[in-house]
Amino acid sequence: MDHRHRKVLHALFAHPVSGNINFTSVQHMLTELGADIDNRSGARIGVTLKGHTVVFHHAHKTLPVEEVLQVKKFLTDSGIDPADYPV
């Protein structure tokens, strides 16, 4: 994973939670982690990573805090730890 994707991963796990993370950057980071991404109806995408699947709604260019927490929980449930990807 390149430096840019690692920065996005660490931003998702930062405290306090950021509400200024670009959704497209998150998609690219998920793809780099090996996730399968498929477009669903409306502004939704399905993401499958290590046997875990979730559907995200992406109505805005940046992720609101609630969606950052949802992505963070999905990554944690999938066994992704930002400590494994140092910046």
| pLDDT at site 1 | 84
Domain spans, the chain:
3-82
- All residues at 6 or more sequence positions from 55 whose CB lies less than 8 Å from its CB, including other chains: 40, 44, 45, 46, 47
| pLDDT at site 57 | 84
Token code pair at residue 15: 């405290």
Sign of CA dihedral 78, 79, 85, 87: positive
pLDDT tens digit sequence for 26-49: 999 999 999 999 998 888 899 999
Averaged pLDDT, 7-19:
94
Of 38, 37, 35, 29, residue with least CA distance to 50 = 35
- How would residue 3 be classed by pLDDT, with cut points 50, 70 and 90? very high
| pLDDT at site 37 | 95
17 φ/ψ angles, rounded to the nearest 5 degrees: -65, 130
Count of beta carbons in the 10 Å neighbourhood of residue 68: 21
SS3 of residue 45 by DSSP: strand
The CATH class, in words, for 3-82 is: alpha beta
SS3 of residue 47 by DSSP: strand
